């Protein structure tokens, strides 16, 4: 008999603690907290999906109680608390938690206000199509390994045969022992495109994949501020991604009291609690930490989110919004930590690593599936070969069977005489008499031929890697076509961030700014060239009482300078202006610039490079003009920079780029034009905080409406005059041969849609501050000059009306006429519509190296 002391094993305490803690840590890491990089699931999620699949809860079947699923998971696979299982099940059904939910929920599954879901006995669930199509399909084809469950009574899959990179699709978060993971969700279509690109070219680097997968795509939408955090996360596995809600500044109209500005929040950053956010803003207003807010309310409904933050009458809306971004979760950071299990070990993965692991896993599953199908096909083919032998020797086989004492004897005789296997002999003995008919025999022959083709195809797949990769690509494209959705989260530029413009296509763009301050950017390709005198296409959804006021064509890499009536200039990159469809209204300019409510943008220009020999010519409403070096505006602060000093009641209205040797042409509403040099004698360069000199003497009730620049090359031969009085004589209707040659020309467009090209030679060079010459004769008393532009033969125009109707047409389609002519119809307008602005389509940017010699 042993005494208790003999069973005591002396152990070093530190070693035992270290070993036990390490076992516990690895158990938590591998078995609970970290997802597998292959299917992107933690054990609890994998077990829930597999248990639902076993229960037959596919999309075509009715919903079942969540309590039934939780009980199945607990009883067979997951010996932990029911709360943990139900919480995991609920999250997979929440469209605000998962970019592509895996479970279809019926009942109360919680809300973005952090409301808890109903108890599991009330809610119901079933699998979504994405789960059956992309995660569980082929699981019965021995594509993955199965292991014993906790008590050895059941088998469960070690991993699901996922057809998509699910870990990046829906992301994951978890805290293990000594480590944690936090992977953001992404867009399914972008992930599939990136995976296919990596299959085609395994040498692709992260910087190439970022062009295809630009960043996370959160289910709640919102915006990502800047790309540096995304790049860091994709390149190293760790990075801080700044998220921001979508907010707009609107004017609320009330009956019986004055209108108020309000900040409208329609989207929140990922995992932000809406009700807690509203409560926090209210507390900060009460504590005087945020000023300018008079009321806050939640107007969200089934149509979407709408948080209304009403502002006080004297509040600066942009400042209030910036304070909300700074002090509340409307702007938050997502700390990406791309940690996942690879071959059972936690690894920090880059974007390429994630996709490489997934592609390797897909290759393995397709090989295993093909081997399984090949084995089954060969077994069936072997059996059919036995049946074919029986059909060819039917009478001897029937004789053997009839003469045998029992089935065992018959089976032995068949094997010996016809060299059959046990399986073939059993199949012959079990063959029904109806299969001896000619029709049934033909079916056996046809099936045998099909199996021969299938076996050859499977062997070819297993022998060629390119066949396997083609299958992976085909399956991915099918899933993308069925389950792909548009991107929810917009990636916008962060002020002060150095952006790699190589990641942004330098496309031709149109920028529209309305009178009420809505701005948007559209590709020029949205508008095809049309015939003269057609109606055009809608370019913006204009609010009632709003009209298009400014219209600019540029390229996405250009810097857009926006000048206000107060003489202040603001700057933004063209690609920072949100891109919109033709029919959208755009975004309020106050969301982009630190501009006061009483300030208004009066001129916009685009600059591709801030060169020393280029100047800005500025013209005010009262006719003061000045020239300042463009280099003085290369560094513009976020709150703007003074561009010109203005007299009382004056406003800055027009700004153009010029060189020292160029000339300036001005147009007035009553059809007058003056043309003078931009050199030092007429316009000497002045500093930013100066007023300028008088540009033109105007008639009574006349006003300036346009300014453009003519290069020195095109004014060669233009007559110069010392007379500053108006030239009243009528110009000849017939133009000289020199005047009808190739341009440039002066293009005159009236507000009623009439226009013409005029030879530059008909606008003599005069001294500044004169009255000028007549540029056009009007068809009616309601007509007046809207635009006076310098154009070339190859140019195309973009003409926009007050209602936002845009027409694109070639300059050569507009007739060439003298100054005294009335022009031709260039755009057909409604009775109450009018031409608002005219802009030239920019030249297509050249690709680097396009013209280099090889």
pLDDT digit string, tens, across residues 294-321: 999 999 988 889 999 999 888 888 888 8
Domain with CATH 3.90.199.10 in the chain: 29-162
Q: pLDDT class for 184, splitting at 50, 70, 90?
A: very high
Residue-level pLDDT at 746 = 93
Instruction: Write the CB contacts of 453 (distance below 8 Å, at least 6 apart in sequence).
Output: none
Note the pLDDT tens digit of each residue in 195-214.
999 999 999 888 889 989 99
Phi-psi region of 759 (alpha: psi -120 to 50; beta: other; left: phi over 0): beta
Instruction: Over range 224-248, report the average pLDDT.
Output: 93
Share of the chain above pLDDT 90, in %: 51
Q: Output the pLDDT for position 431.
A: 82
From CA 431, how far away is CA 410, in angstroms rounded?
Answer: 14
Residue with the two structure tokens 């300030």? 599
pLDDT at 851 over 70: no
Q: If phi over 0 gives left and psi between -120 and 50 gives alpha, with beta otherwise, what is residue 383?
A: alpha
Query: Is 122 tagged catalytic?
Result: yes
pLDDT at residue 729, as a whole number: 42
Instruction: Take residue 144 and report the two structure tokens written for it.
Output: 């993955």
pLDDT of residue 18: 76
- pLDDT score, position 87: 95
The catalytic position among 50, 77, 86, 122 is: 122
- 99 pLDDT exceeds 90? yes
Tell me where in the chain the CATH 3.30.1360.40 domain(s) lie.
246-329
Does the 246-329 domain belong in CATH 3.30.1360.40? yes
* pLDDT tens figures, 342-389: 998 899 999 999 999 999 999 999 999 999 999 999 999 999 888 888
Cα of first residue to Cα of last residue in the chain, in angstroms, is: 94
Q: How confident is the model at residue 732 (pLDDT cuts 50, 70, 90)?
A: very low
CA angle (675, 677, 678) in 5-degree steps: 120
Instruction: Single out the residue of 599, 600, 590, 638 nearest to residue 250, CA to CA.
Output: 590
Residue 723 has pLDDT above 60, yes or no: no
Map tokens 């003269």 to a residue: 532
pLDDT digits (tens, 9 = 90+) for 779-789: 888 899 999 99
What the block records as the tokens of 267 is: 């989207």
pLDDT band at 267 (very low <50, low <70, confident <90, very high): very high
Q: Which of 241, 99, 238 is nearest to 181 (CA)?
A: 238
What proportion of the chain, given as a percentage, has pLDDT over 70? 90
366-483 has which CATH code? Answer: 1.10.268.10
The mean pLDDT value for 694-718 works out to 87
pLDDT(727) > 50 = no
CATH class of residue range 504-840: mainly beta
Q: Is the pLDDT of residue 241 over 80?
A: yes
- 492 bridge partner residues: 225
Q: What is the pLDDT of residue 392?
A: 83
How confident is the model over 402-428, as pLDDT tens digits?
A: 888 888 888 888 888 888 888 888 888
Q: What is the pLDDT of residue 146?
A: 95
- Tell me the pLDDT band of 853, cut-offs 50, 70 and 90: very low
Please state, in angstroms and rounded to a whole number, the distance separating the CA atoms of residues 34 and 54: 24
207-221, 441-455, 725-739, 790-804: range with lowest mean pLDDT: 725-739
pLDDT at 6 over 80: no
- CATH 2.120.10.90 domain position(s) in the chain: 504-840
304: left (phi over 0), alpha (psi -120 to 50) or beta: left
Ranges of CATH 1.10.268.10 domains, the chain = 366-483
What is the Cα–Cα distance from 758 to 819, expressed in whole angstroms? 6
State yes or no: pLDDT of 693 exceeds 60.
Answer: yes
Contact at 8 Å (CB) between 535 and 807? yes
Q: For 12-51, how does the pLDDT look when each residue is reduced to its tens digit (9 = 90+)?
A: 888 878 777 677 766 666 667 789 999 999 999 999 999 9
Beta strand residue intervals within 501-576, DSSP E? 508-514, 518-523, 537-538, 548-555, 559-564, 568-573
Q: pLDDT at position 736, please?
A: 61
**pLDDT confidence of 722, banded at 50, 70, 90?**
low
The pLDDT of residue 532 is 58
Mean pLDDT of 819-824: 91
CATH number (3.30.200.20, 3.90.1150.10, 3.10.310.50, 3.90.199.10) of 29-162 reads 3.90.199.10
Q: Is the pLDDT of residue 843 over 80?
A: no
Residue 531: per-residue pLDDT: 57
């Amino acid at each position: 008999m042993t005494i208790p002391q003999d069973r005591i094993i002396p152990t070093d305490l530190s070693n035992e603690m270290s070993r036990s803690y390490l076992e516990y840590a690895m158990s938590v890491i591998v078995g609970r907290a970290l997802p597998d990089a292959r299917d992107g699931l933690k054990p609890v999620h994998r077990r829930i999906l597999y248990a639902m699949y076993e229960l037959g809860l596919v999309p075509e079947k009715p919903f079942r109680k969540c309590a039934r699923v939780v009980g199945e998971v607990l009883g067979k696979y997951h010996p932990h608390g029911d709360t943990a299982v139900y919480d995991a099940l609920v999250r997979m059904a929440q469209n605000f938690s998962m970019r592509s939910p895996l479970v279809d929920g019926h009942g109360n599954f919680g809300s973005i206000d952090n409301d808890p879901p109903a108890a599991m006995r009330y809610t119901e669930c079933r699998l979504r199509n994405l789960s059956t199509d992309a995660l569980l399909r082929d699981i019965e084809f021995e594509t993955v390994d199965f292991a014993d469950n906790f008590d050895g009574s059941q088998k469960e899959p070690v991993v699901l045969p996922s057809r998509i990179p699910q870990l990046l699709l829906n992301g994951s978060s978890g805290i293990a022992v000594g480590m944690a993971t936090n992977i953001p969700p992404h867009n399914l279509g972008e992930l599939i495109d990136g995976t296919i690109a990596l299959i085609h070219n395994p040498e692709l680097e992260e910087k190439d994949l970022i062009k295809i997968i630009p960043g996370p795509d959160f289910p709640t939408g919102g915006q990502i501020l800047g790309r540096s955090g995304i790049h860091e996360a994709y390149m190293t596995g760790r990075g801080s991604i700044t998220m921001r809600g979508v907010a707009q500044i609107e004017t609320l109209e009330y009956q019986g009291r004055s209108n108020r500005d309000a900040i409208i929040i329609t989207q929140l950053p990922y995992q932000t609690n809406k009700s807690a956010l509203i409560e926090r803003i209210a507390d900060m207003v009460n504590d005087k930490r945020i000023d300018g807010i008079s009321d806050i309310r939640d107007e969200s409904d089934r149509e979407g989110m709408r948080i209304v933050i009403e502002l006080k009458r004297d509040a600066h809306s942009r400042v209030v919004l910036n304070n909300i971004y700074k002090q509340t979760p409307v702007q938050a950071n997502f700390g990406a930590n791309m940690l996942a299990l690879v071959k059972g070990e936690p690894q920090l993965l880059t974007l390429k690593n994630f996709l490489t692991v997934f592609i390797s896993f897909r290759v393995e599953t397709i090989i295993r599936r093909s081997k399984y199908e090949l084995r089954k096909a060969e077994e069936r083919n072997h059996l059919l070969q036995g049946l074919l032998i029986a059909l060819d020797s039917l009478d001897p086989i029937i004789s053997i069977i009839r003469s045998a004492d029992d089935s065992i004897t018959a089976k032995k005789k068949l094997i010996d005489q016809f060299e059959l296997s046990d399986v073939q002999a059993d199949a012959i003995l079990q063959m029904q008499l109806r299969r001896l008919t000619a029709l049934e025999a033909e079916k056996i022959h046809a099936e045998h031929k099909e199996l021969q083709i299938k076996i050859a195809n499977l062997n070819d797949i297993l022998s060629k890697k390119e066949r396997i990769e083609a299958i992976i690509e085909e399956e991915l494209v099918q899933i993308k076509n069925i389950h792909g959705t548009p991107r929810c989260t917009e990636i916008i530029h962060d002020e002060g961030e150095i952006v790699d413009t190589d990641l942004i296509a330098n496309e031709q763009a149109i920028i529209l700014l309305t009178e009420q301050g809505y701005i948007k950017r559209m590709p020029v390709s949205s508008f095809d060239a049309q015939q003269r005198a057609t109606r055009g296409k809608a370019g913006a959804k204009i609010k009632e009482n709003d009209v298009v006021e400014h219209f600019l064509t540029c390229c996405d890499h250009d810097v857009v300078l926006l000048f206000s009536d107060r003489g202040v200039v603001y700057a933004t990159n063209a690609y920072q202006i949100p891109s919109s469809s033709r029919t959208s209204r755009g975004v309020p300019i106050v969301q982009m610039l630190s501009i006061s409510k009483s300030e208004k943008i009066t001129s916009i220009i685009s600059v591709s490079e801030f060169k020393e020999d280029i100047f800005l010519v500025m013209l005010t409403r009262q006719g003061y003009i000045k020239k300042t070096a463009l280099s003085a505006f290369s560094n513009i602060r976020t709150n703007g920079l003074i561009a010109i000093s203005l007299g009382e009641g004056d406003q800055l209205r027009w700004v153009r780029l010029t060189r020292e040797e160029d000339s300036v042409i001005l147009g007035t509403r009553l059809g007058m034009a003056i043309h003078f040099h931009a050199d030092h004698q007429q316009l000497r360069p002045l500093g930013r905080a100066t007023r300028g000199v008088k540009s033109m003497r105007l008639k009574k009730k006349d006003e300036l409406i346009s300014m453009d620049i003519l290069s020195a090359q095109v004014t060669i031969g233009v007559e110069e005059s010392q007379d500053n009085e108006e030239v009243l004589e009528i110009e000849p209707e017939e133009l000289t041969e020199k005047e009808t040659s190739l341009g440039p020309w002066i293009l005159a467009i009236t507000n009623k849609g009439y226009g013409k090209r005029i030879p530059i030679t008909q606008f003599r060079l005069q001294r500044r501050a004169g009255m000028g010459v007549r540029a056009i004769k009007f068809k009616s008393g309601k007509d007046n000059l809207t635009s006076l532009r310098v154009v070339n033969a190859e140019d195309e125009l973009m003409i926009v009306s007050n209602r936002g109707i845009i027409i694109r047409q070639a300059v050569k389609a507009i007739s060439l006429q003298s100054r005294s002519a009335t022009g031709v119809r260039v755009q057909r307008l409604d009775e109450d519509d009018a031409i608002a602005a005219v802009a030239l389509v920019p030249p297509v940017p050249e690709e680097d190296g396009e013209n280099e010699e090889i």
